[in-house]
Amino acid sequence: MSSTEAPTVDDLALAVFDSAVIPLAEALRASGRKNYFPLGADTGAASYFEAPSLGVMGAADFAFPGEGTPEGLLDAAAAVWAAQGETGLADLAGRLRPVAEALRTEAAENNGEVDILCYTMF
């Protein structure tokens, strides 16, 4: 990437992972708390099945948090994480905003149209 090119989505996401997610995981591990997700099978579990907490879903159950925008989703996630006392994760939402913007830009630039000069060889 030259100094005149904007960073790619991958560049931004990797930077967030390296500079924020890894330190959060290391701090979690150092504090003695459990990982957010199990790293292996639970040998003591008889089953992984859990009864559904909701028998019937309505339209509201399918609503996209944050009114359908990436920024709104990040705000909603930050609010949930803050309410759970996960301030590190809540702070991460701000670091993800440039990734969301880069994804928006990439999607606008790549609308799925095939250039007339592009062809497939068999």
Note the pLDDT tens digit of each residue in 56-78.
999 988 888 888 899 999 999 99
**Is this structure's pTM higher than 0.75?**
no
- Does residue 56 lie in a domain region? no
Total domains in the chain come to 1
Q: What percent of the chain has pLDDT over 90?
A: 47
User: Does 61 fall in a domain?
Assistant: no
CA nearest to 33, candidates 95, 89, 77, 102: 89
Nearest-angstrom CA–CA distance, 13 and 31? 26
**Domain hosting residue 6, numbered range:** 1-33+69-109
Q: What is the mean pLDDT of residues 72-93?
A: 94
Chain centre to alpha carbon of residue 110 = 21
Report yes or no on 99 lying in a domain: yes
Residue 98 lies in a domain: yes
Q: What is the pLDDT of residues 20-36, one digit of tens each?
A: 999 999 999 899 888 88
Q: Give the integer Cα–Cα distance in Å for 119 and 117.
A: 6
Residue 92 domain-assigned (yes or no): yes
pLDDT at residue 1 above 90? no
